[in-house]
Amino acid sequence: MTDDSSAQRSGGGEGASLTAADVARLVGGRLVGGDGGRVVRRVAPLHRAGAEELTFLAAAKYADEFRDTRAAIVLVPPALAETPGAPDAVRIVVDKPHEALLKVLPVLYAAPPRAPGIDPTARLGRGVRIGDDVTVEAYVVIGAGAVLGDRAWVESHSAVGAGVELGEDAHVYPGVTLYPGTSLGRRVAVHSGARLGSDGFGYVFGEGAHRKIPHVGRCIVEDDVEIGANTTIDRGSVDDTVIGAGTKIDNLVHIGHNCHIGKLCLIMAQVGVAGSTVVEDGAILAGQAGVGGHLRIGRGARIAAQAGVMGDVPAGATYGGYPARPHKESLRAHAAMFKIADMMKRLERLLAREDAT
């Protein structure tokens, strides 16, 4: 959100460019029948790519758009290399065009620039420690004793609680709240509006009221985690809440108190994980899935979208439906339900006849 970022990431390359030969070399692809000197400055989708723009054909279903594209360079997978169309383009054949973009985009689009320095409107509490080359933007508030590692970047309007620690190269987008008791590892990115370390939902009913259990556990986010916009992760009650290294969490996700999420997990938008649940390394939770409290999702398990998990899930399994079961069984049972609706009248007649005999 610093001054020039959009000129870069959205406006395109400010002069950066690649030739077709450069691109082929960069992505490990093969240039077929065309001018290796053709220049591109931006990447665009098939339907609006033009001169100086590179595009890609991801699947056969986009053949119509491919036919008419005015792109200058197209990346095509081997199986679709001969697809007719793209009359103005140099073709580069590469195994996975979409993944190849990972190599092209950072060259054409500079990352948002970051101007180190502490904005004069930033409010720092007593004993805050600031590493080298840190950026703290306008109207940030940082509580006493917080620690910002080298090159940490806190964007505008964020509230960093007392004693919170940010690792080197951590990046906090605008309007984030890190409650006291939170720590972020190195290269962690927290998107706008995420709330980390808020009190968990823990009450004991008595004396006519839901009495709150004070939360004194921490919220620990390990290295290389990315957390989506408006996601909430509660601090632990007595234990800690932990998000393992390299895990990626999408927008509007809820992670309850004391959860331990493993390393390299993918947790998609609007997933909810209730308190004290363990999600082992490499598990994938698809959009809007819900996982109950005090459960264990095994290593590498996959939970289908909207699944409602009410028991442990074995490592490597794929579960879906509500209550979640092995996904194939769940889809099969669902299909049976539709079939049985069609058979219902005949079944009722049959049972009536049986009863009569």
237-296: contacts with a second copy (CB under 8 A): 238-239, 246, 248, 250-252, 254, 256, 264, 266, 268-270, 272, 274, 287-288, 290, 292
Q: Least Å distance between CB 21 and a second copy?
A: 22
- Give how far the C-alpha of residue 173 lies from the chain's centroid of Cα atoms, to the nearest Å: 15
Per CB under 8 A, does 45 bind a second copy? yes
Rounded Cα distance between 179 and 326, Å, is 38
Yes or no: say if 224 and 242 are a contact pair by the CB < 8 Å rule: no
Residues 295-314 that bind a second copy (CB under 8 A): 305-306, 308, 310
Which is the catalytic residue, given 157, 171, 191, 257? 257
Residue number with CB closer to a second copy (37 or 127): 127
Residues in contact with 10: Cβ distance below 8 Å, sequence separation at least 6, in sequence order: none
Question: Judged by CB under 8 A, does residue 207 bind a second copy?
Answer: no
3-state SS, residue 80:
helix
| Beta strand ranges found along 222-300 (DSSP E) | 226-227, 232-234, 241-243, 248-249, 254-255, 260-261, 266-267, 272-273, 278-279, 284-285, 290-291, 296-297
Site membership for a second copy, residue 126 (CB under 8 A): yes
**How many whole angstroms separate alpha carbon 215 and alpha carbon 257?**
9
Complex with a second copy: residue 82 or 350, whichever CB lies closer = 350
* Structure tokens, 229: 């916009």
Asked whether position 123 contacts a second copy by CB under 8 A, the answer is: yes
Query: Binding to a second copy by residue 4, rule CB under 8 A?
Result: yes
Residue selected from 15, 33, 84, 214 as contacting a second copy according to rule CB under 8 A: 214
Q: Quick check: 79 binds a second copy (CB under 8 A)?
A: no
Q: How far apart are CA 215 and CA 143, in angstroms?
A: 19
Residue 257 designated active-site: yes
Nearest to 267 by CA among 297, 239, 293, 238: 297
C-alpha–C-alpha distance, residues 328 and 197, integer Å:
37
Question: In 265-282, which positions are buried (b, 16+ CB within 10 angstroms) versus exposed (e)?
Answer: bebbbbbbbbbbbbbbbb
- By beta-carbon proximity to a second copy, the closer residue of 83 and 306 is 306
From 17-25, 73-81, 85-93, 106-114, span contacting a second copy (CB under 8 A): 106-114
Q: Does 26 bind a second copy (CB under 8 A)?
A: no
| Nearest to 275, CA basis, from 324, 317, 239, 228 | 239
Which residue's CB is nearer to a second copy, number 90 or number 224?
A: 224
Given 91, 155, 188, 318, the residue binding a second copy (CB under 8 A):
155
Q: Is residue 161 within the footprint of a second copy (CB under 8 A)?
A: yes
The interface with a second copy within residues 220-239 (CB under 8 A) comprises 224, 226, 228-230, 232, 234-235, 238-239
Q: Which residues are catalytic?
A: 257
